[in-house]
Structure 1
């Protein structure tokens, strides 16, 4: 696998190269000390895998990834800081290695790379599944900490944005999932789920009462008592959607 190492510390790059020597499937085709160098090498060398530091002079590792044109390589982050872990996996990182890099953890990361490469058919099926539009009869798996649910989507009355997470409201449960509200909106059937405002998507089947609200908006009350404002702009779409 054609591999590029991106790290502003020369000693860290040398140590990683030493640790990677036993892994014959990893072919190191280049190294860069900052994002600008890395972007040129990515364009020229077309690596399949990046070992990427996060904190670097100029653009950080996340900014580097958003600057890549076309298909980005697979990524394993290498950093001395653990506070970026959640954000790293928002970028679909294969792994997140803390410095100093442990040999066994690196071995696990390489195994994950090989698994990812050896299962193109499974990946294609997963991608197809992830693009499917979900309706109220679909069931979804939800995990929050140690608790898990397999819930029919029609039971979820409200999706509420909480920063990088979305809170799901069903029955008396309110678990958090690591998704953006925008990405969920793209997958939900628009005939059932409506984007009420910047923070909320409501299940139209759960609306109990609708009232006029300030500045041309609407206030809906859902079964169970949730009261959600529909913004003025979305109220226009809502009336078009719900009218005869």
Structure 2
């Protein structure tokens, strides 16, 4: 019997998909979860055969959920009403998806494909390909947050600030994006010359530094008026990058 987990923050969507699976598909045991944070623990512990995963969820989007998993040896099907760009990236990565509301015939076809194959032990490679496709344009930085995938221009990012297990990205437009990941994790997306980690809590865009305030470690005033502390052990390298004496 196939063990299936449905992850979606929308109760109606969960109930509708659960009903279709139970009524149209034989030999399945369906479990539902409306919290992506709880779903991470559930997947790691119960090790389902199939996971139907929504992308747009408030606590943690589908991409972030996958990245947080230890267990990934299952068949994955995204259930989403996401934008065309993300769907193209998912399709190119050979990961299945169903558009909501889920069509009966498309669901039957997806499940038929799964029952003919073994569990997908190449999911890790497909997920990496997906992330690469989402960030195919090197001038863009893809950030998963708020149930969306933001495609950011490097020059629009002023700085990133750590708040324990969360990271806030400050943009030129004064918009703030809160990511449910540590700064160390998010920093991997910002491996460009203009970004520099000046402190355990701050990653800045060097092109947005407005002033340097002298002090024990010192502080930077950014173009949006916010300040970023400087660690003493980062000071020399920062001065070299900013051509300061």
Normalised by the length of structure 1, the TM-score is 0.50
Larger radius of gyration: 1
Normalised by the length of structure 2, the TM-score is 0.49
